[in-house]
Amino acid sequence: AFSDPFSVVWLTAFSEVMEAKRASIMLLSVPAGDAEALSAIQDAAVDGIAGLCGDQPAMIRARERGLPTVYCTMRQPVGAEPIGGDYVAIDDYAAAVEVGRHLRRLGHTRVSLLIETAQRGQPVLSEYRPDELAGLVDAYEGVGYFDTFHRVRGVLDGLGDATVTIVVAGTNSRASGQAAGGLVLDRAHPPTAVVAVSDVMALGFMDACRQRGLEPGRDISVTGFDDLPESAAAGLTTIHQPVRDKGRLAAELLLDPERTQRRIILPHELIVRSSTRPVA
């Protein structure tokens, strides 16, 4: 949690509300597939649980205990029946469609998409025809997209008929983005644009570009998702989402069971910076 800039911003806002209300926080690490860690949720002496994704095993176990839960990313489409609990989220699908359309308007038809999974490991690159992509996304949905599932679908829909190479980059980290960058950029025919499902991986990809004497925006377009504090200085085109508001509202929902609005969709915005340009 403390190595991910998104989580740091979210936790800071969450803890500020808790501190103001003199409430305590317990941090529970529950990696995917870790049954022993999952049992900590069953035994934890807490009054509620907040997490990123509502259908992670830890959140399901908490609801089975009857604990209030709040999650901050949508796995079901906005407007569909929630999987349970309260949420504070953005419309990840609609935001990602904007990213795909932005690149398509700039003339990009050969695009790589960097996705995350729950597993660590070397990045894996796979090329798929447009008619194969929907099945591929469905296959990965159950094995570790976490909050990025609708981002993937949205980017693909926004890109339309573009040729897409999907890179399974590993866990959400700058190192994963950098390793994936090496795999993408060292190909005989690299893409003209890259979409990362998080700013963290996009910034790592930009590191790989500069290691090879390439300038993001000039030589290859790069986009991210989240608009972390470092992204503006890096010139990264991205989706801005109110991360602090997510953390603040998640805490308020847990602390105030009488609050009327308990399923909140926050606004997002496509921020265009120097890392994306029209195809030369």
- pLDDT tens for each residue of 14-41: 999 999 999 999 888 776 667 777 787 8
Instruction: Please tell me the predicted confidence (pLDDT) of residue 60.
Output: 83
Q: Is the pLDDT of residue 7 over 80?
A: yes
Task: Please report which confidence band the pLDDT of residue 280 belongs to, taking 50, 70 and 90 as the band edges.
Answer: confident
Q: Per-residue pLDDT averaged across 213-235, rounded? A: 97
> Per-residue b/e over 118-157, b at no fewer than 16 CB within 10 Å?
eeeeebeeeeeeeeebeeebeebeeebbbbbbbbbbbbbe
At residue 151, the pLDDT reads: 87
Task: Classify residue 223 by burial, with Cβ atoms within 10 Å: 0-12, 13-18, 19+.
Answer: buried
List pLDDT tens digits, range 258-276. Answer: 999 999 999 999 999 999 9
What local confidence, expressed as pLDDT, does residue 169 receive? 81
| Strand 86-89 with 110-115, pairing | unpaired
The pair of structure tokens assigned to 148 is 């990025």
Helices 92-105 + 149-159 axis angle, to 10: 30
Please, which pLDDT band fits residue 42 given cuts at 50, 70 and 90? confident
Q: How much is the CA Rg of the chain, to the nearest whole Å? A: 19
Mean pLDDT of the chain: 86
pLDDT of residue 145: 46
pLDDT at residue 76 is higher than 70: no
Q: Summarize pLDDT for 78-110 with one digit per residue, the tens.
A: 666 666 779 999 999 999 999 999 999 999 999
Tell me what percent of the residues of the chain surpass a pLDDT of 90: 57
The residue-averaged pLDDT of 180-206 equals 95
- Residue-wise pLDDT for 111-133, tens only, equals 999 988 765 555 566 655 556 66
Report the distance separating Cα 37 and Cα 28, nearest Å: 8
Instruction: Tell me the sheet residues that pair with 50.
Output: 70
Lowest mean pLDDT among 43-47, 76-80, 87-91, 213-217: 76-80
- Residue range 132-190, pLDDT digits in tens: 666 666 655 554 445 577 888 899 899 998 988 888 887 888 998 999 999 999 999 99
Tell me which range, 35-44, 54-63, 124-133, 201-210, is most confidently predicted by mean pLDDT.
201-210
Supply 40's token pair: 């900590």
